[in-house]
């Protein structure tokens, strides 16, 4: 049975990854901060799909949290040991956004966003690649966003954090070091997806029309299919493929016209 480690597994896209992979018979290591939510989900997945599920509570915006998860990812195969199994698939999914504009948000909150959206991805990828390249096998799916492709939100560090995830994934995925070792990497770029993300960040959900909203099960299905096909960048749905094309190819000044300026809408 292959094993997948999913960060941010208790809600939204992470939970959809856990449900989809468990239904395929994949063993899971679930990571999030809430121990109670992790145990509840693990129990439900064991009962429904009969797969092995470990829970690993960790705050990935902290050094200690990253170190605990990195230690689990560093477990490699040892001939006489069967437990815990090495991780075959890492899904770097946990991420946050902020509704408040850069200057009003406070540097501590901005640093927390970068710690989770960027630094944790860096550290966990490092830990996973260490064992995966040694074993000659493994996959990493990094959840970025269409927002990281070009000018999308003004006065927000969120798109910059996701631009880093896309660039980082491409840089490693195409490298000889990773490819020749038989390791696959994909950046998944969802558009607006119905999860807890906007509510947690205080971001209004009334602006995007209903046809722009994706469903998390569809996003997860596309991301996993593209990873298995060896695609390095995965963009679920035709409408967001078109949006990403426009963000990449239209003159910057033009695509900036469609960007959401959160400092213009801010309540404080």
- Under the binding rule (CB under 6 A), the answer on residue 32 touching ligand NAP is yes
* Tokens, residue 216: 């998390």
When the beta carbons of 19 and 61 are compared against ligand NAP, the nearer one is 61
Q: How far apart are CA 16 and CA 22, in angstroms?
A: 10
Nearest distance, CB of residue 81 and ligand NAP, angstroms: 27
What phi, psi does 168 have (nearest 5°)? Answer: -60, -45
d(CA 94, CA 147): 16
Number of residues that bind ligand NAP (CB under 6 A): 29
Using DSSP's 3-state secondary structure scheme, residue 79 falls into coil
**β-strands 138-143, 233-234: how paired?**
unpaired
Length of the chain: 268
- Residue 69 in the binding site for ligand NAP (CB under 6 A): no
39 contacts ligand NAP (rule: CB under 6 A): no
**Active site positions, annotated:** 158
Q: How far is CA 165 from the centre of its chain?
A: 9
Q: Toward ligand NAP, which CB reaches closer, 137 or 239? A: 239
How crowded is residue 229: how many other Cβ atoms within 10 Å of its Cβ? 10
Shortest distance in whole angstroms from residue 146 CB to ligand NAP: 7
Query: Which residues, 164 to 223, sit near ligand NAP by CB under 6 A?
Result: 190, 192-193, 195-197, 200
| List of residues contacting ligand NAP (CB under 6 A) | 7-14, 32-34, 37, 59-61, 93-96, 116, 143, 145, 190, 192-193, 195-197, 200
């Amino acid at each position: 049975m292959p094993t997948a480690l999913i960060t941010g597994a208790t809600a939204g896209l992470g939970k959809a990854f856990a449900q989809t992979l468990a239904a395929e018979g994949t063993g899971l290591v679930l990571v999030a901060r809430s121990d109670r939510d992790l145990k509840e989900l693990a129990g439900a997945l064991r009962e429904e799909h009969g797969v092995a599920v470990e829970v690993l509570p960790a705050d990935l915006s902290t050094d200690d949290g990253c170190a605990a998860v990195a230690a689990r990812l560093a477990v490699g195969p040892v001939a006489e040991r069967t437990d815990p199994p090495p991780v075959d698939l890492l899904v770097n999914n946990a991420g946050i956004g902020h509704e408040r504009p850069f200057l009003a948000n406070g540097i501590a909150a901005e640093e927390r966003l970068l710690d989770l959206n960027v630094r944790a991805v860096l550290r966990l990828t490092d830990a996973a690649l260490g064992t995966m390249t040694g074993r000659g096998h493994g996959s990493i799916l990094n959840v970025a966003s269409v927002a990281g492709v070009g000018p999308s939100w003004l006065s927000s560090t969120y798109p910059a954090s996701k631009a880093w995830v896309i660039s980082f994934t491409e840089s490693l995925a195409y490298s000889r070091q990773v490819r020749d070792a038989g390791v696959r990497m994909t950046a998944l770029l969802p558009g607006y997806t119905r999860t807890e993300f906007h509510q947690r960040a205080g971001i209004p959900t009334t602006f995007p029309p209903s046809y722009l909203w994706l469903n998390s099960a569809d996003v997860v299905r596309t991301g996993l299919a593209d990873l298995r096909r060896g695609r390095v960048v995965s963009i679920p749905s035709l409408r967001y493929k078109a949006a990403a094309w426009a963000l990449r190819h239209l003159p910057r000044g033009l695509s900036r016209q469609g960007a959401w300026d959160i400092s213009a809408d801010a309540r404080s």
